[in-house]
Amino acid sequence: MHLLDFQGWSAERVHSILDSADIMREVLDRPVKKVPALQGLTICTAFFENSTRTRTSFELAARRMSADVVSFAAGASSLSKGESLRDTIETLKAMRVDAFIVRHPASGAAHLVARYGGLPTLNAGDGRRAHPTQALLDAYTLRRRLGSLEGLKVAIIGDVRHSRVARSNAELLPLLGAEVTLCGPAPLLPRELARPGVKLTTDPREAVKGAGAVMALRIQQERMAGGFLPSMAEYALSYQVNERLLAEAREDAVLLHPGPMNLDLEVSGSLARSERSLIGEQVENGVAVRMAVLYHLLVGRRE
Amino acid sequence: MHLLDFQGWSAERVHSILDSADIMREVLDRPVKKVPALQGLTICTAFFENSTRTRTSFELAARRMSADVVSFAAGASSLSKGESLRDTIETLKAMRVDAFIVRHPASGAAHLVARYGGLPTLNAGDGRRAHPTQALLDAYTLRRRLGSLEGLKVAIIGDVRHSRVARSNAELLPLLGAEVTLCGPAPLLPRELARPGVKLTTDPREAVKGAGAVMALRIQQERMAGGFLPSMAEYALSYQVNERLLAEAREDAVLLHPGPMNLDLEVSGSLARSERSLIGEQVENGVAVRMAVLYHLLVGRRE
Amino acid sequence: MHLLDFQGWSAERVHSILDSADIMREVLDRPVKKVPALQGLTICTAFFENSTRTRTSFELAARRMSADVVSFAAGASSLSKGESLRDTIETLKAMRVDAFIVRHPASGAAHLVARYGGLPTLNAGDGRRAHPTQALLDAYTLRRRLGSLEGLKVAIIGDVRHSRVARSNAELLPLLGAEVTLCGPAPLLPRELARPGVKLTTDPREAVKGAGAVMALRIQQERMAGGFLPSMAEYALSYQVNERLLAEAREDAVLLHPGPMNLDLEVSGSLARSERSLIGEQVENGVAVRMAVLYHLLVGRRE
């Protein structure tokens, strides 16, 4: 079993993982935050793209399940020596690791790793395509806070074009009964993402109207060189998620952000640190959700 | 409880840590150099400044206490993506680590980490301000060798201006009854460091007169671009700690150096490898002292 | 005891390690691939040259023996601050690690580490001189497949000049009864390597005639700037190990490659992935052989 994206997944399967995450959250509240579930197994984090934050979350999740973790970072690797992805993965597999957690700048790379390795594979972000554990932790954070996602309106605002977080959430949340509205400046809002359960708009006010949750996406300033935005200041003026914009949403609407944040660019600092922000809980839940996913991939394999 | 610097510390509290270090030294002499004291706890080394050597010492200390260690290195991190220190620390805290070991190029950063994280925090060096475990291991090395620091004269020679090692020793050693003399070329010797128990002089002969211990500070050649020194050769001529200079100290005076050394620049190679050098013991004691500090921060929290 | 190269080694000693590797292979076939042999010991991987692949293999081997592993990577280290190899090794030793696994760009550096550290030292590649565990895993792979190396002809083809893999195999395989032929373009084939059991030729057809095993060496393209080869295409035309060349060898001849491969440069992709390729087994056996070596160095010390 893999977690590459949510194609072919049922709501039941997702809820079964989120139920396990409930148990893992309890583990994290204990003084000794460890269970022996994956003892003796070795998990390989194969990161072909830098992300200390995500790698740390996965590594903590794996260690708290008592797995051994071996880190393969591509910057320091034979990749720079021209080795193919297939050879790298076959080599790591031959060293007898038990699962891959892969991050890669190319869309679709996680599927290749799953095929080459033939081992349980967890997509930790591939290109602009998918980042499924981020969507799972977002869904879990909302379910935990609100009980259910059925009928919930979720606005996702920012650079949708380059965002795997937006794509994975647009795949997962409708599966759980939510309605997603993707919102950003026109050049950053690919029209092909519209489908049942997923609306598009360039108007942030329209996006948040009636929303119970608003997610601000990170602006990756290095991606803006391509001329997508006139200026950062202009972007913030129109699309920043702040108190003023949130006033148009449901009264009890909550704020999400996948992190790391550019404070006062895509989200206002005061809102990010307010009572309505679930950003800290997202990180906390991230570890629990990743523990649950690893459990399902590696222990639940028999199903 | 934190270890950020020695403000408000008593001699009793210091000696209590050094007494624990005695026990840890014995652990390090066993074939299996491990105790279960921190089993199940996760310690996060958050290094925003590169130091393999110090990080390795802390990591070994933590592992020998049976803690899990997760390394967060800023070079490879979201810091380069513009995230604030506060957000980074809050994120790591939300992942439920149990303590921070922090190194940062900015003076005072360790205090911020302690405040943002609300977790036991150990300063592994912040800017030019403090490096308290280095001072503790220096004190421990001297106490172990000499029995007591009461009335001991210690000369600290080199680039005092940029040295957190000098500042932390100037704070700690007088607390234990020693008299410190800081010595270096005038531009590298900030006059505000003088206070009861801490003298300043630009004359190395005067500094070592009657000293029972002489510490050479590392010259960081990259810091000398600012025009602090006419040349390295000139520095060595006047301030190198060597046999000739040590001949002016007490007959049984010992040599200390925080490492890594520029041999034959701030210290002569022959002296560094002589019987009078405690440099190897400093490293050895460094692991024991850090084990003791972790024990006091994490297990001794109840006090 | 060290493993630096095979000077002074007997065939018996080698076979005794390969016999242990047989046991370790069985461990790797179990669901829980771990033995407690090195519990409580700390192994330091001191890599002064980047190699994620080799480091990962050693790290997995050490962890599967239940050792703690501490990684000291020179890029991020005090080496760049001008510290000598001796001081680095003495510092790590003072931190009470139990063994060194060292990789270094300078030929002979592993011997220095063994001398400075006085601890069991395993050479993971030093300059162009030796890479003994690679030769051991090659020998093990051949012994496992063919039963014995007695009388076996082995052709090693490529950039022999810069290859520690070639040198270590030319040292080890004749010790086990094999005849080695080193082959490459004249500028890459140092004549001083010829000796009893080791022949040299610039003609790849001659090299593989009667060979039961053919090893293609990696072409390190960055080394070719020195004008050793007219072009990569020309090299491939004459020296690529492919089906056509292997047709001149024994009918059952097998293919080896130390990895990572430049597919369709020094070896054809189709051959590398054919039934005759033992490349995947080499990697797998690499972990088992390194476990066996660590066992002999650290547990078998009493002998």
Q: Is residue B2 part of a domain?
A: no
Per-residue pLDDT, averaged over C174-192, amounts to 97
Q: Is residue C1 part of a domain?
A: no
Q: Specify whether C46 is located in the same domain as C98.
A: yes
CB-based contact, C76 to chain B, within 8 Å: yes
Question: What confidence tens digit (pLDDT) does each residue in B136-158 have?
Answer: 999 999 999 999 999 999 999 99
Beta bridge partners of residue A229, listed in sequence order: none
Kindly indicate the confidence band of residue B302, based on its pLDDT and cuts at 50, 70 and 90: very low
How far apart are the CA of B190 and the nearest CA of chain C, in angstroms? 25
Cα torsion through B243, B249, B250, B254, rounded to 10: -60
Per DSSP, the three-state class of B215 is: strand
Q: Specify whether B270 is located in the same domain as B292.
A: no
How far apart are the CA of C224 and the nearest CA of chain A, in angstroms? 14
Contact check, Cβ <8 Å, A70/C59: yes
Contact check, Cβ <8 Å, C94/B261: no
In angstroms, what CA-CA distances link B163 with B58, B283, C89?
20, 18, 25
Per-residue pLDDT, averaged over B37-41, amounts to 94
Going by C-alpha positions, the residue among C201, C133, C144, C206 that lies closest to residue C171 is: C133
CB-based contact, A273 to chain B, within 8 Å: no
- CA dist C12 and C284 (Å) reads 23
Per-residue pLDDT, averaged over B58-71, amounts to 96
Residue A39's identity, in one-letter code, is Q
- Write down the pLDDT at residue B229: 80
Question: What confidence tens digit (pLDDT) does each residue in C65-86 have?
Answer: 999 999 998 764 445 566 789 9
CB-based contact, A223 to chain B, within 8 Å: no
Mutant choice from A81, A85, A97, A298 vs C, greatest count of C C-beta within 10 A: A81
Cα Dmax for chain A: 55
Contact check, Cβ <8 Å, C42/B53: no
ipTM value: 0.92
Over 60: is that where the pLDDT of B262 sits?
Answer: yes
User: Which chain A residues touch C221 with a CB distance below 8 Å?
Assistant: 82
CB-based contact, C36 to chain A, within 8 Å: no
Which portions of chain A are predicted below pLDDT 70? 75-82, 225, 301-303
In angstroms, what CA-CA distances link C235 with A155, B15, C217, C266?
58, 69, 12, 8
Over 70: is that where the pLDDT of B301 sits?
Answer: no
Over 90: is that where the pLDDT of C52 sits?
Answer: no
Outline where B219-268 has alpha helix (H): 232-239, 243-246
- Write down the pLDDT at residue B76: 47
CB-based contact, B35 to chain C, within 8 Å: no
Question: What confidence tens digit (pLDDT) does each residue in C222-249 have?
Answer: 777 677 887 888 999 999 999 999 999 9
Per DSSP, the three-state class of A267 is: strand
Contact check, Cβ <8 Å, A83/C283: no
Question: What confidence tens digit (pLDDT) does each residue in A33-59 have?
Answer: 999 999 999 999 999 988 889 999 999
User: Is the distance from CB of B66 to CB of A63 less than 8 angstroms?
Assistant: no
CB-based contact, B91 to chain A, within 8 Å: yes
The per-residue pLDDT of chain B, averaged, comes to 94
User: Is the distance from CB of B218 to CB of B158 less than 8 angstroms?
Assistant: yes
- Write down the pLDDT at residue C76: 46
User: Is the distance from CB of A17 to CB of A279 less than 8 angstroms?
Assistant: no
Give me C141's structure tokens. 């792979």
Outline where B95-203 has alpha helix (H): 109-117, 132-146, 164-175
Q: Is residue C98 part of a domain?
A: yes
Mutant choice from B53, B63, B279 vs C, greatest count of C C-beta within 10 A: B53
Contact check, Cβ <8 Å, B42/A33: yes
Going by C-alpha positions, the residue among B53, B54, B55, B62 that lies closest to residue B33 is: B62
Going by C-alpha positions, the residue among A15, A26, A121 that lies closest to residue A64 is: A26
Per-residue pLDDT, averaged over C79-100, amounts to 87
Q: Specify whether A197 is located in the same domain as A141.
A: yes
What is the CB-side half-sphere exposure of residue C231 using CA atoms within 13 A? Answer: 3
Q: Is residue C3 part of a domain?
A: no
CB-based contact, C86 to chain B, within 8 Å: no
The per-residue pLDDT of chain C, averaged, comes to 94
Q: Is residue A6 part of a domain?
A: no
Polymer length of chain B: 303
Question: Which residues of C sit in the known binding site?
Answer: 53-54, 81, 103, 131, 134, 164, 218, 259-260
Packed helices A85-94 and C279-298: angle between N→C axes, nearest 10 degrees: 40
Contact check, Cβ <8 Å, A78/C32: no
Q: Is residue A3 part of a domain?
A: no
In angstroms, what CA-CA distances link B168 with A76, B121, B198, B217, C94?
36, 17, 12, 13, 23
Contact check, Cβ <8 Å, C283/A97: no
> What sign for the dihedral angle of Cα A76, A82, A84, A89?
negative
- Write down the pLDDT at residue C83: 76
Q: Specify whether C38 is located in the same domain as C167.
A: no
Domain interval for residue B250 = 132-279
User: Is the distance from CB of B110 to CB of B146 less than 8 angstroms?
Assistant: no
Q: Specify whether A88 is located in the same domain as A197.
A: no
CB-based contact, C284 to chain A, within 8 Å: yes
- Write down the pLDDT at residue C75: 64
- CA dist A166 and A158 (Å) reads 9
Per-residue pLDDT, averaged over B23-50, amounts to 94
Q: Is residue C5 part of a domain?
A: no
- Write down the pLDDT at residue A76: 47
- CA dist C281 and A200 (Å) reads 52
Place of tokens 């790379």: A109
List the single residue in B40, B42, B77 with the smallest CB-CB distance to A52.
B77
Q: Specify whether B90 is located in the same domain as B151.
A: no
How far apart are the CA of C223 and the nearest CA of chain A, in angstroms? 12
How far apart are the CA of C293 and the nearest CA of chain B, in angstroms? 20
Kindly indicate the confidence band of residue B106, based on its pLDDT and cuts at 50, 70 and 90: very high
Residue C28's identity, in one-letter code, is L
Q: Specify whether B33 is located in the same domain as B63.
A: yes
φ and ψ at residue A148, rounded to 5 degrees: -150, 155
Q: How is chain C classified by DSSP, letter by letter?
A: --BS--TT--HHHHHHHHHHHHHHHHHHHSSS----TTTT-EEEEEESS--HHHHHHHHHHHHHTT-EEEEEESTTSGGGGT--HHHHHHHHHHTT-SEEEEEESSTTHHHHHHHHH-S-EEEEEETTTB-HHHHHHHHHHHHHHHS--TT-EEEEES--TT-HHHHHHHHHHHHTT-EEEEE--GGG--GGG-BTTEEEES-HHHHHTT-SEEEEPPP-GGGGGGTT-S-HHHHHHHH-B-HHHHTTS-TT-EEE--S---BTTTB-HHHHTSTTB-HHHHHHHHHHHHHHHHHHHHTGGG-
How far apart are the CA of B263 and the nearest CA of chain C, in angstroms? 8
Q: Specify whether A63 is located in the same domain as A157.
A: no
Q: Is residue A177 part of a domain?
A: yes
Q: Is A260 annotated as a binding residue?
A: yes
Domain tally, chain A:
2
Helix H or strand E segment including A201: strand A198-201
For the domain that residue B187 is a member of, what is the CATH number? 3.40.50.1370
CB-based contact, B83 to chain A, within 8 Å: yes
Kindly indicate the confidence band of residue B303, based on its pLDDT and cuts at 50, 70 and 90: very low
Q: Specify whether A248 is located in the same domain as A199.
A: yes
- Write down the pLDDT at residue C78: 46
CB-based contact, A91 to chain B, within 8 Å: no
Contact check, Cβ <8 Å, B95/A283: yes
Kindly indicate the confidence band of residue C290, based on its pLDDT and cuts at 50, 70 and 90: very high
Q: Specify whether C112 is located in the same domain as C165.
A: no
Q: Specify whether B213 is located in the same domain as B84.
A: no
Top-confidence residue, C113 or C82: C113
Q: Specify whether B125 is located in the same domain as B138.
A: no
Touching C: B residues 135-194, CB under 8 Å: none
